[in-house]
Amino acid sequence: MTIEGEQKPAKKFIGDMPFGITTEFIQAHLHEIEKEIAQINEYLTKKDTPEQLRKSAEDRKINNEQVLEKSPDEIFHLLKEVYDFVKVLEQSGLAQTDILQKIKSERPELNQAIGRFYGILRSQVWGYQLGQSLFAFGLQE
């Protein structure tokens, strides 16, 4: 219960949540992506596929292939860097919108990693919230 006039604590992406992502989980996720790429390749061999659906499948395949460009260890360390960066900013008292702005302006490689590896991040509440907020923040700009 909040007392009138009392300031509410700032909403946080991470707060006291653990990182929670393992290399084993990343490996399993990458395996699923490999299977999806195989399915897309099979789909693209069909001659009667409408052009718009073919283009969508090709785009999905390209995005998936970009995820596979990094090893599970590289992905783990990159996502841990995202987590640590956001956690430090939260602990310094920055508001969520300021954190999002810092990610976009000061750490574009982390911004890109959040988008590229969102399929992994969304397995954690903090990663889901951060990814969704960053996407919405981008729409506002």
- Buried b / exposed e across 69-98, counting CB within 10 Å, b at 16+? ebebeebbebbeebbebbbebbeeebebee
Distance separating alpha carbons of residues 35 and 25, to the nearest angstrom: 16
What is the overall mean pLDDT for the chain?
A: 90
pLDDT in tens, 5-24: 555 556 899 999 999 999 99
What confidence score (pLDDT) does residue 49 get?
A: 81
Average pLDDT over residues 107-113: 94
Boundaries of domain holding 128: 23-140
In a domain, 41, yes or no: yes
In a domain, 13, yes or no: no
Average pLDDT over residues 118-129: 95
| 134 and 100 Cβ atoms separated by less than 8 Å | yes
- Buried b / exposed e across 10-47, counting CB within 10 Å, b at 16+? eebbbeeeebebeeeebeebbeebeeebeebeeeeeee
| 100 and 114 Cβ atoms separated by less than 8 Å | no
What confidence score (pLDDT) does residue 138 get?
A: 73
In a domain, 18, yes or no: no
Cα-Cα-Cα-Cα torsion 41, 121, 75, 99, nearest 10 degrees, comes to 130
In a domain, 94, yes or no: yes
In a domain, 12, yes or no: no
In a domain, 14, yes or no: no
What confidence score (pLDDT) does residue 11 get?
A: 85
Distance separating alpha carbons of residues 75 and 85, to the nearest angstrom: 15
What confidence score (pLDDT) does residue 139 get?
A: 61
In a domain, 132, yes or no: yes
pLDDT in tens, 57-74: 999 999 999 999 999 999
Average pLDDT over residues 76-95: 96
In a domain, 8, yes or no: no
What is the count of structural domains for the chain?
A: 1
